[in-house]
Amino acid sequence: MRATWWWKAIKTDLNIHLGSIISDPSLASSFGVASSLSPAKCVWIPPPLDFLKFNVDGACSHEGKCGVGGVLRDANGSKLMEFLLSIGFGSPLLAEILAIKLAVERFVNSPWVNRSRLVVESDSKTTVDWVLDPSLSSTLFSKLVQGISSFFTNG
């Protein structure tokens, strides 16, 4: 049903009953996908001089198996370190939080910790908001988020 509503929202110029698409989804493929849709373009923005940037991400499969990764780069875009780990089963929010936590831990234990400042970039607005203001976080993740947040407020 959700896919049908999504398809109908894209194809605003077509006058076809939703029930028809629900009963025979192959009808949707005969109309194609909107040509105005294109993949988002990602552009990496370097950190300021004397900073390093850790781009992180966490993801989970439909079955709940999760992984995290991150890449640390300098202002020239040179890769200094990376990680990619399976974290077992969990939620997408847990994966995003753990990706940030692992990036911070890796930076703290790196040779760059006393020579640079750190920027962490994540595509999860929720986890970034939580790190910036731990009082917003779910009680399930509050201790984990407070630990990460303390690095940025005390570091």
What percent of the chain has pLDDT above 90? Answer: 56
For residues 49-57, give the mean pLDDT.
Answer: 95
pLDDT of residue 136: 92
> Could you tell me the residue ranges of all domains in the chain?
2-31, 51-154
pLDDT of residue 19: 60
Q: Which two tokens stand for residue 4?
A: 């049908």
pLDDT of residue 3: 63
Phi, psi of 64 (to 5 degrees): 100, 0
Sheet arrangement for strand 51-60: 79-89, 65-73, 51-60, 117-122
Cα dihedral: 155, 54, 145, 128 (round 10):
110
Q: Is the pLDDT of residue 36 over 60?
A: no
**Distance between CA 96 and CA 136 in Å, rounded?**
16
**Distance between CA 6 and CA 10 in Å, rounded?**
7
pLDDT of residue 63: 85
Give per-residue pLDDT as tens, 108-142: 999 999 999 999 999 999 999 999 999 998 888 99
102-123 burial, b at 16+ Cβ within 10 Å, e below that, comes to bbbebbeebeeeeebebebbbe
Are β-strands 65-73 and 117-122 bridged in parallel, bridged antiparallel, or unpaired? unpaired
Q: Which CATH class is domain 51-154?
A: alpha beta
Q: Is the pLDDT of residue 74 over 80?
A: yes
Q: Which two tokens stand for residue 44?
A: 């990496």
| Residues with Cβ within 8 Å of residue 46, at least 6 apart in sequence | 53, 73, 74, 75, 76, 77
- The model scores a pTM over 0.85: no
